[in-house]
Amino acid sequence: MVGKLAARVVFAAFLGVVGAMSMASADSAETGVEAPGPQGPLKGTLHAAAASNAPVVLIIPGSGPTDRDGNSRLGVQASSYRLLAEGLGRRGISSVRIDKRGMFGSATAISDANNVTIGDYADDVHAWISSIRQKTGSDCVWVLGHSEGGLVALAAAARDETGICGLLLVAAAGRPLGEVLREQLRANPANAPILDQALSAIAQLEAGKPVDASKLNPALLPLFHPSVQRFLMNALSYDPAQLLAKIRKPVLILQGQRDIQVSEEDARRLAEANPKAELRVLPDVNHVLKEVTSDDRAANIATYADPNLPLAPGVVDAITEFVLAGANPN
């Protein structure tokens, strides 16, 4: 937009602290790192650029059981975050890509990965920022949120911009989650038999009322499972544009025109909320930041499962230009 079930509810479902960071190897470009979590460490990967004073980007993953590389057991194997880290590293920008609390390397950070809120993830962003600054000596960290990670980045910055150089909102929704879910459900003709029930459930959760999952069509259980409803009710309460209106740090809004999950309308709504933000709309770029040159939905989705496809032209360039301009304003 999250736990083992909770995180999968936003986008993927509709496709068919201050503590020391530990380093695994001092002489490799990539090293294991960690930051304090609520019950155990949060873990990730530092991709270090050659320069000791390189700017650092913290990559916040999107919805679903999405790991630090941008992959998910729900069929997403695009490795978008790993490719992004490598591309930024070649341009002189370091990055830290992370596993969400309760998942993958961060499994011990919380006992129940579904017992989370957007605010919890925002806490983790600040834990990572503190740890990265302590380890690298950087004055601040650039926070990149992809998809649902954009909402997490906004929530973290709206609460406290200390230690944040700026925000990089990549394929991030610009509307409340309920609006996005309704649009995604309506866009898929296969959802017609369950659409009314799904829309009713969304409205109920928006009102802060749990949904009786036993009365739902089984096809809707991955979205409205009882274990994820607390997270959903919390996530539905946020308006990304309202959060962005509060941000005073530099903001890049990066959106692909071939994105079948988040629209250009979302990006423009975000830009309208904060006139100082820079909007970059890239043609032939989809939600997982791969190149797609047609409106063929099947071809678009096929890129989600191909880690060998490079990132689309322009993605790394846009982020690099914005970060380096902010890091070297003169």
Q: For 3-16, what is each residue's pLDDT tens digit?
A: 333 333 443 333 33
| 66 beta partners | 72
- The continuous run of DSSP H or E covering 130 comes out as helix 118-136
* 249 and 109, same domain (yes or no): yes
* 149 and 41, same domain (yes or no): yes
* 218 and 252, same domain (yes or no): no
* 153 and 251, same domain (yes or no): yes
Q: Tell whether 183 is covered by a domain.
A: no
Q: Tell whether 170 is covered by a domain.
A: yes
Q: What is the mean pLDDT of the chain?
A: 91
* 79 and 143, same domain (yes or no): yes
* 194 and 319, same domain (yes or no): no
Q: Could you tell me which of 146, 81, 145, 157 has the C-alpha nearest to residue 119? A: 157
* Least trusted range by pLDDT, from 27-31, 154-158, 176-180: 27-31
Q: For 189-219, what is each residue's pLDDT tens digit?
A: 999 999 999 999 999 999 999 999 999 999 9
Q: Could you give the percent of the chain with pLDDT greater than 70?
A: 91
Q: What is the pLDDT of residue 124?
A: 98
What is the number of structural domains in the chain? Answer: 2
Mean predicted confidence (pLDDT) in 225-254:
97
Q: What is the CATH number of the domain that holds 294?
A: 3.40.50.1820
The model's pTM: 0.90
Residue the block writes with tokens 């079930």:
5
Last residue of a domain, one of 167, 202, 234: 234
Q: For 244-275, what is each residue's pLDDT tens digit?
A: 999 999 999 999 999 999 999 999 999 999 99
- The amino acid that residue 220 corresponds to is L
Q: What is the pLDDT of residue 179?
A: 95
Q: What is the pLDDT of residue 52?
A: 86
Q: For 304-314, what is each residue's pLDDT tens digit?
A: 999 999 999 99
Q: What are phi and psi of 214, to 5 degrees?
A: -65, -20
* 153 and 193, same domain (yes or no): no
Q: What are phi and psi of 88, to 5 degrees?
A: -65, -40
Q: Tell whether 1 is covered by a domain.
A: no
Q: What are phi and psi of 161, to 5 degrees?
A: -90, 5
The model's confidence at residue 74, banded by pLDDT at 50, 70 and 90, is: confident
The model's confidence at residue 26, banded by pLDDT at 50, 70 and 90, is: very low
| 167 beta partners | 143, 251
* 117 and 223, same domain (yes or no): no
Q: Token pair for residue 149?
A: 């990670």
* 124 and 153, same domain (yes or no): yes
Q: What are phi and psi of 86, to 5 degrees?
A: -65, -45
Asked if the model's pLDDT at residue 2 lies above 50, the reply is no
Q: Tell whether 258 is covered by a domain.
A: yes
* 307 and 202, same domain (yes or no): no
Q: What is the pLDDT of residue 184?
A: 85
* Least trusted range by pLDDT, from 111-115, 145-149, 326-330: 326-330
* 132 and 56, same domain (yes or no): yes
Q: Tell whether 184 is covered by a domain.
A: no
Q: What is the pLDDT of residue 327?
A: 79
Q: Token pair for residue 193?
A: 């038999």
* 193 and 145, same domain (yes or no): no
Q: Which domain holds residue 197?
A: 189-234
